[in-house]
Structure formats: structure tokens, C-alpha cells
A = this chain, B = another copy of it.
Amino acid sequence: MPESLFSEVVPEPAEEVFTTLLEKPGLKIERIASHGHVSPAGFWYDQEQEEWVLLVQGEAVLQVDGQPDLRLKAGDHLRIPAHLRHRVASVSDDALWLAVHF
């Protein structure tokens, strides 16, 4: 049976909610509900694995090391190479991401 990406696990979460939708060796598909929470000041993601990320709903500003800010709207997707430092500078309350780590 299908599950819904839009169903909320927690009604009013105090932080971002990460839900693993599928996990296999070398592959993880993850749902991220931001609830307006940005990356902590000075925090950068620096990931071992490459990532493909889609903003399914909402808006966000992504900072990528050494690049101008990326303003994302629903439907925007991009590939983030392993160890490319990045952080979420701002994000709407309803922001919903799909991340594929591989």
C-alpha cells in the first residue's frame, strides 16, 4: 500500500523531522519536514555520501560553500556532491524535502 509524503508524524514538531522512507546498502531515501527550522548558526552539512535533493513543497534558501545563495521553490532539485559543505539559511514553515543519499 502507498504511504503519503504529506502525512505528518508529529503535529507541531519543535525541530526538523527526518523520516527514512527507504534504506538499502548505498541508498537512502529520506523525507525532511523543516517546519521553519534552519541549520544552526555556523553549522554546515559535510556528508560522506552524494545527495540529490528535491524541495517538494515550500521555499528555502540554501547556502553552498563558495557559491551565491540558492533560492529554491517547490519543484526545484539539485545534486550535492559528497563533502560539498551546505546549509539551510532560511526555510518556510511548510517546507518539505525529499533527499536521496547514494
Contacts and interface: CB of A to CB of B under 8 A. Distances in A.
Question: A interface, how many residues as a size bin?
Answer: 20 to 34
A78 B29 contact: no
A50 to B, nearest CB: 8
Given A21-B52, A22-B52, A27-B27, A3 B102 contact: no
Interface in A23-71: 24, 26-27, 29, 52, 54-56, 70
Taking chain A's interface residues, is the majority helix, strand, or loop, or is none over half, making it mixed? strand
Contacts of A79: 22
Q: A2, A27, A79 — which one has the most chain B CB atoms within 10 A of its CB?
A: A2
Interface of A: 1-7, 21-22, 24, 26-27, 29, 52, 54-56, 70, 72-79, 98, 100, 102
